[in-house]
Amino acid sequence: MSLTSRQRTFLEKLLDVYYSHRQEAIHYTDLAHALGVANSTAYEMLKSLELEGYVSSEYRLADDRIGPGRTMVLFRPSMKALRGFRRLLGEDARHKEWEFVKSRILERLSSEELPQGELVTALIAAIPDSDDPLSYCGGVLAASLAAIRSQVWNRLEESGILQDMNGDEAQSLGTLDLLPGVALGISCASPRQSSWLSRLAGHVRRYQGMVHELDQGARLRLLRFSREVMTALRAPVRSG
pLDDT tens digits, one per residue of 45-96: 999 999 988 898 888 766 555 555 567 888 988 878 877 776 556 556 677 7
CA–CA separation, 152 and 200 (whole Å): 17
Structure confidence by residue, pLDDT tens digits, 157-216: 555 556 666 667 776 787 888 888 878 887 777 666 567 888 888 999 899 889 988 989
Distant-in-sequence, close-in-space partners of 75: CB < 8 Å, separation ≥ 6: 14, 25, 26, 27, 28, 31, 46, 50, 55, 56, 57
Distance from first CA to last CA of the chain, Å, rounded?
A: 41
Q: Which position has the higher pLDDT, 139 or 60?
A: 139
Which domains does the chain possess? 5-84 (1.10.10.10), 90-233 (no CATH)
pLDDT category at 19 given cuts 50, 70, 90 is confident
Residue 69, pLDDT score:
53
| Average pLDDT of the segment spanning 21-41 | 86
User: How many percent of the chain have pLDDT more than 90?
Assistant: 17
| Average pLDDT of the segment spanning 128-147 | 88
Residue 159, pLDDT score:
54
pTM over 0.75: no
| Average pLDDT of the segment spanning 93-107 | 82
Task: Count Cβ atoms within 10 A of the Cβ of residue 212 and give its class: 0-12 exposed, 13-18 middle, 19 or more buried.
Answer: exposed
CA–CA separation, 23 and 77 (whole Å): 9
What is the CB neighbour count within 10 angstroms for residue 2?
Answer: 6
Residue 38, pLDDT score:
93
Residue 238, pLDDT score:
44
Residue 88, pLDDT score:
58
| Average pLDDT of the segment spanning 96-122 | 78
Residue 163, pLDDT score:
62
Average pLDDT over the chain reads 79
**pLDDT higher than threshold 50 for residue 138:** yes
Mean pLDDT lowest among 12-26, 151-165, 206-220? 151-165
In contact, 61 and 52? CB cutoff 8 Å: no
